[in-house]
């Protein structure tokens, strides 16, 4: 099963194409831009409380049969936060000092 490669930051709605090196994901594939992860979220996923990692880049070229961005297309469904910015800020502030591996 391939990652969805969601097309936007859930916080600021910035476009994050499949080859975006600034895309960050949590273990549930919640997707945010590096700027929001660092400056707004303190490396705390506002949805699950986990930390973030750089999102892998899906190869554009078909190096192996059926395995590339064309054959396994990224998602075109934009996702947005279901919490208010105030709720997000409170959640992140509450657990930002707990290392991701201990949350």
Per-residue pLDDT band at 1 (split at 50, 70, 90): confident
Choose between 46 and 69: higher pLDDT.
46
Place of tokens 């992860």: 37
Would residue 83 count as lying in a domain? yes
pLDDT > 90? residue 87:
yes
User: Residue 5 and residue 100: Cα distance in Å, rounded?
Assistant: 22
Would residue 17 count as lying in a domain? no
User: Residue 86 and residue 76: Cα distance in Å, rounded?
Assistant: 28
Question: Other CB atoms closer than 10 Å to residue 44's CB: what's the count?
Answer: 25
**N-to-C CA span, the chain:** 26
pLDDT digits (tens, 9 = 90+) for 20-58: 999 999 999 999 999 999 999 999 999 999 999 999 999
User: Residue 65 and residue 83: Cα distance in Å, rounded?
Assistant: 41
Would residue 89 count as lying in a domain? yes
Choose between 68 and 35: higher pLDDT.
35
- 62-91 average pLDDT score: 95
Would residue 41 count as lying in a domain? yes
pTM of the model: 0.92
**Total domains, the chain:** 1
User: Residue 85 and residue 80: Cα distance in Å, rounded?
Assistant: 11
């Amino acid at each position: 099963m391939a990652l969805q490669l969601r097309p936007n930051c859930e916080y600021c709605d910035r476009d994050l194409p499949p080859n975006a090196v600034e895309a960050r994901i949590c273990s549930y594939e919640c997707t945010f831009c590096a700027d929001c992860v660092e400056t707004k979220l303190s490396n705390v996923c506002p949805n699950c409380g986990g930390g973030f990692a750089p999102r892998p880049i899906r190869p554009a070229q078909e190096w192996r049969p059926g395995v590339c961005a064309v054959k396994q297309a990224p998602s075109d469904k934009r996702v947005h936060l279901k919490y208010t910015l105030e709720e997000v800020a409170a959640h992140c502030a509450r657990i930002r000092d707990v290392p991701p591996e201990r949350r």
